[in-house]
């Protein structure tokens, strides 16, 4: 799949929201945003950019995940079967038991919430970029901008032109309508970055670097961070 028609892109976003509403997720999800091209009204949409705000799993809220004392602890089960640590700590144990094929680990062998979410929600060949963070989209835009400036790496920026589709169980039908009808009036990326405090030259450079990075991506890409 090389791109989405605008209609298909918005349909796909609705499917993502449906899945989060209807199915158990590896961690609690609080917000779903669409940003970038799909928010600008372009057609077709080369890549679909999605942002999920999730909770850090401080305490597993699985229902009966560990079972009785004579049953295998899910953490041990997946350590043995998948070589993955952290089930019941970084991701829900009952989710892993229900969807073991979606369990994914980071380089250290621990269950990675952002990778588990991507495996559950996305097909590997879809032109979708998924951002996952514990902070809200609006808060993380500023956080990532500060980090990108410090590291002089503008590929780490989060495109600020976003629209909230779903928050705490409530879907924004108005947001979906505006996406379908291309009603959102949003600035160019460089102009949006200027509004966040970059000067004209820096904003232009940052936008060019982020666009170039984006054009090099293929299939599903995932980025997770913790603020």
Note the pLDDT tens digit of each residue in 62-80. 865 444 444 678 889 999 8
What's the rounded mean pLDDT across residues 163-187?
95
Q: Please say whether the beta carbons of 134 and 226 come within 8 A.
A: yes
**Whole-number average pLDDT of the chain:** 92
CB-side exposure of 72: number of CA atoms within 13 Å? Answer: 10
CA angle 106, 46, 104 (to 5 degrees): 15
Residue 67: what pLDDT? 46
**All structural domains of the chain with their residue ranges:** 6-58+122-225
Model pTM?
Answer: 0.93
Range in 52-66, 158-172, 181-195 the model is least confident about: 52-66
Residue 116's nearest CA partner among 54, 66, 33, 60 is 54
In whole angstroms, what is the distance from residue 159 CA to residue 145 CA?
9
């Amino acid at each position: 799949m090389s791109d989405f028609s605008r209609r298909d892109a918005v349909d796909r976003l609705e499917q993502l929201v449906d899945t989060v509403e209807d199915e158990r997720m590896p961690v609690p999800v609080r917000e779903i945003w669409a940003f970038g091209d799909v928010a600008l009204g372009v057609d077709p949409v080369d890549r679909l950019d999605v942002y999920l705000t999730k909770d850090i799993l401080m305490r597993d809220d699985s229902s009966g995940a560990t079972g009785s004392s004579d049953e295998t602890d899910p953490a041990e089960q997946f350590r043995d079967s998948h070589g993955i640590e952290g089930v019941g700590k970084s991701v829900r144990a009952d989710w892993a038991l229900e969807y073991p094929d979606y369990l994914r680990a980071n380089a250290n062998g621990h269950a990675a919430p952002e990778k588990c979410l991507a495996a559950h929600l996305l097909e590997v060949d879809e032109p979708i970029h998924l951002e996952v963070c514990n902070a809200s989209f609006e808060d993380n835009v500023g956080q990532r901008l500060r980090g990108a400036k410090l590291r002089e790496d503008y590929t780490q920026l989060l495109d600020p032109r976003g629209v909230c589709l779903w928050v705490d169980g409530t879907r924004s039908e108005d947001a979906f309508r505006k996406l379908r009808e291309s009603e959102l009036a949003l600035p160019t990326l460089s102009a949006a970055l200027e509004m966040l405090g970059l000067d004209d030259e820096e904003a232009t450079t940052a936008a060019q670097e982020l666009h170039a990075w984006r054009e090099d991506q293929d299939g599903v890409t995932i980025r997770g961070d913790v603020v």
